Chain A
Amino acid sequence: MVQKKSTRAVGIGRVLIAVYAILALAATGRSVFQIATQFQQAPLAYALSGLSAIVYIMATVALIMRGRRWYAIAWGTISFELVGVLFVGLMSIIDPSVFVPSAKYAHSDHSTVWTYFGIGYGFVPLVLPVLGMLWLRHTRPAVEAEISASDESGSAASADGSVDPLADESAAGA
């Protein structure tokens, strides 16, 4: 295992980080524009837009960095994103006046990256936290440390499995 490098920035995880970086750029660009030019029009939506940009940047950095603390920060920021996209997504349907004064363009005007569950960004903001969580679970530090040790127990488990191969096959087929 590559312990010296980042434990999360490997393989397909790098694509996840790249997509996070792109979304962080997109959210930052939009929120800077919104806050700089028309903050008074919808303070709550634009403040949230700025917050989401910061959280996306933090999540991107946390995914790249190694160590348990960054792992925890990654979980925190990605969870925040999921809560954010679900809450704002629901709010934009229940009470559109807060986040979407102009229903014609759901992805423009007073919207945030999370409005209508991220429809303006191809629902990427909705899908990304879920993929991020799956990736974090896949690369959690405890598992990382156990992988080398678990090789022996893994072979023992397969030996146990070979006692009843039919059960394994039916489980795989299900």
Chain B
Amino acid sequence: MIEWFTWVQFGVGLAAALFCIVLGIARRIPNDYTVGSLALVELLLVVQLVIAIVSPFAGNHASGNVLEFYIYLVVALLLPPLSVIWALVDRTRWSNVVLGAGAFAVAVMVVRMLQIWTATVS
């Protein structure tokens, strides 16, 4: 896991969450930009997955529980697609808020993943 990349991911997640929620409150229905922001969040998660797979081979080993890390990563990978499906099915402004909630959850989860990866377990 690369720390700076994780914080970039956290920032993008928060920005996407804020963007989607603000547009939802402004009574906009989901558009290419709000759905696109979730696509970006998903893309960064896929990059994170690749980094997590490659890191141990480059000498970057997780000190925490790897299984717990991957449970978080897999659940996080599911959130953007599910919230985008939601936005495509339910064409109301509330779907933008749902997109925002998904992005926010991912942002929180990547920080938790960093804590797990770098945890000093007994």
Contacts and interface: CB of A to CB of B under 8 A. Distances in A.
B75 A25 contact: yes
Interface of B: 65, 67-68, 71-72, 75, 78-79, 82-83, 86, 90, 92, 94-95, 97-98, 101-102, 105, 108, 115, 119
Interface of A: 11-12, 14-15, 18-19, 21-22, 25-26, 29-30, 32-33, 37, 105, 108, 122
A26 B101 contact: no
The secondary structure that dominates the A interface is helix
Contact of A22 (B67, B79, B90): B79
A67 to B, nearest CB: 20
B105 A22 contact: yes
The secondary structure that dominates the B interface is helix
A33 B71 contact: yes
Contacts, number: 44
Contact of A18 (B68, B71, B101): B101
A52 to B, nearest CB: 16
Given A25-B79, A33-B68, 12 more contacts: A11-B92, A14-B94, A15-B101, A18-B98, A21-B82, A22-B105, A29-B72, A30-B71, A32-B71, A33-B67, A105-B115, A122-B108
B67 A37 contact: yes
B101 A12 contact: no
A22 B82 CA distance: 10
